[in-house]
Amino acid sequence: KLAAKLARIGKGNTFPNPAVGCVIVRNADESILGCGFHPKAGKPHAEVFALLEACGHVSDGVAAATTAMDLGDSANEGLSKQVSELFDTYISEDGASKLFNNQLGGDDVTAYVTLEPCCHYGKTPPCSQSLLMAGVSRVVVGYRDPNPRVDGGGIKQLQDSGLDVSLLGQSDSKEEASMSRVCHELVEHFVKRISPREDSSSEETLDAMINGKKRRAIRSIVGRQKSEGTVHEVAWPRDHAISKEDKVDQSFAERVAIDHRFLERVDEALWDHEIVLLRLKNVVQKKKGAKIVGERVAKILDAHLAQVVGHTALLYRPGFPPRLNLDELVESEAQ
């Protein structure tokens, strides 16, 4: 439960990664040795922050992870610098070994993690190796990671190295099943992002599949939703660094950084609603600019830009599974 609570701290800030929490406990007295969560893509994962605290490198793994969220908080500059230096060590050659090697080997220790530890090298080393190096003796996993780069590989690697690994939801325990669902809900949209779609074998893109009739059907749906007040909208956040001159500059629309938190909000809205209206007046003031930004967001999220009106852009992406049947809608409108 605590690991899930920690994961929620990072939720909304980790796109395209999942939100994950981790707690490391000494089994003899059930004392908590370290806590952590994944703060942002490209930064250490939840297990690493928990290990940093458990191995004595930081006094508070959650505070350390919070500084890595890059929220502009200058109150913890000292801790932020310390975390940055530890991160540089961690991603260096044999960095995980330098930080964690057998630091917990003298204790019987369990790591509780909401999502299966990764077992591949990306921007950071694999968490499964870090847990093994530290001397963790048992790992409890809240949800198996369906990412093809993991997909049970982290659990297998830990088990092959002699660790006791438990995956929630495998027993008849109602409490375990409940916690497994909680852990799944934390990564629900991530799971959809990395899961192959039923039509993934087709080389035809979503843009190619959406013809004029389907585009009109999407616009018709939004027209009804607007009149009913049910259209789902996501607004570009206010940014005082964006000037009036920037907003009318077409080249600015092409280069402005698209915040990962905005992308996560749009991505979740598309999975939940399939049709989302972006309000972009805080970044552009002309239709051309809205079209450019809308196309950039659509490309990142594998969505279709269905319409641009003023400084708004309408995105469509079928759910997983699809909620709207555009072929049926086109046929019904034709009748």
Catalytic residue flag (residue 47): yes
* Nearest Cα residue to 53 out of 79, 18, 72, 76: 79
Rounded to 5°, angle at Cα 119 from 67 and 98: 60
Nearest residue to 132 (alpha-carbon basis) of 172, 86, 89, 100: 100
Of 47, 53, 268, 274, which one is the catalytic site residue? 47
| Separation between Cα atoms, residue 128 and residue 121, nearest integer Å | 11
Residue 139 · residue 110 · CB < 8 Å: yes
Q: Give the DSSP per-residue string, 213-266.
A: HHHHHHHHHHHHHHHHT---EEEPPP-TTS-HHHHT-HHHHHH----HHHHHHH
Pairwise CA distance, residues 24 & 112, whole Å: 6
Catalytic residues: 47
